[in-house]
Structure 1
Amino acid sequence: MKEILTQINGIPIHKNFVENLPYNPKLKALLNEKRKAGILSEVIFWKQVRAKSFHHIDFDRQRIIGNYIVDFYVKKLGLIVEIDGWSHDLKKDYDELRQKYLESLGLKIFRVTDFDVKNNLSVVMKDLENFVVENYGC
């Protein structure tokens, strides 16, 4: 039986740590640039989840997985949170390949729009709760 990480609305959330994720060290410089860029929607979301403030779940910001940098990552769940801005409209094929690759590693991806983070944050956080319960709850 899997270890319980936390509870959301009384529902136990089980750990789903994905081991041995690939890592491309050549992306480290780009990672630091992305962190410094301070994209508003990412900063807003980070303020909601940093320091285990979202149901005591530990989020990493800007994590390298394989040849990609994901916006947010929860190690103990194998969960990626992606905030899609307008640029994603122009790269649907790339995003689809990227998502298939990440899912092939056993990871789950929660996608939200930049607009929703800026304008419907409470809905985004509720949707994230529901996603975690559906995918990791028992």
Structure 2
Amino acid sequence: MKKSDLHKTGMWKGATKETFIKARILRENMTEPEKMLWERLSKNQIEGLKFRRQHPILFYIADFYCHALHLIIEIDGGYHDTIEQKLKDDKRTERLRSNGITLIRFRNEEVLNNIDGVIEEIIRVIHKLKLK
């Protein structure tokens, strides 16, 4: 399969060149909670699964993505509390789910104050997905 075909149907699902450029910038400027979680997700440390950070899918950028399970992990800051952003997040979640992707969200504070609990929840979701 050619790389261009993957952009249409594979792990990128049609992401544009601009989305890839933005993802690269986001990888270079990760937040502290993102850095903390990446320390635990990188190098196949959880259930031997590969996660990508700031990964383009459609015209979105997932904070973390596991292609093997079609799982996105998002870390939300305070701006996700606004009504406008909640509506955008709901629309994004629905669009991703309609493409066969599972999405779980954590607050910045959860990652900063309870990283072990966040990892436990991620593992719980992984086990549930593996049973499907």
**TM-score strictly above 0.5:** yes
Highest RCO, 1 vs 2 (Cα 8 Å, sep ≥ 6): 1
* TM-score, structure 1 normalization: 0.82
Q: Give the one of 110, 114, 126 matched to 2:108.
A: 114
Tell me which protein shows more helix as a share of its residues.
2
* TM-score, structure 2 normalization: 0.86
**Match of residue 3 from structure 2:** none
1:93-135 CA-partner distances (Å, limit 9, x unpaired): 0000000000010000111111100001111111111111122
Calculate the aligned-residue CA RMSD, in Å.
1.2
Which whole-Å CA distance do the structure 2 matches of 1:27 and 1:74 have between them?
A: 18
1:127 aligns with 2:129: no
**Match of residue 83 from structure 1:** 75
Identity among equivalent pairs (%): 27
**Match of residue 137 from structure 1:** 131
Q: How many aligned positions are there?
A: 120
Specify the SS of the correspondent of 1:83: strand
**Match of residue 4 from structure 1:** none
**Match of residue 33 from structure 1:** 25
Structure 1 gap ranges (5+): 1-18
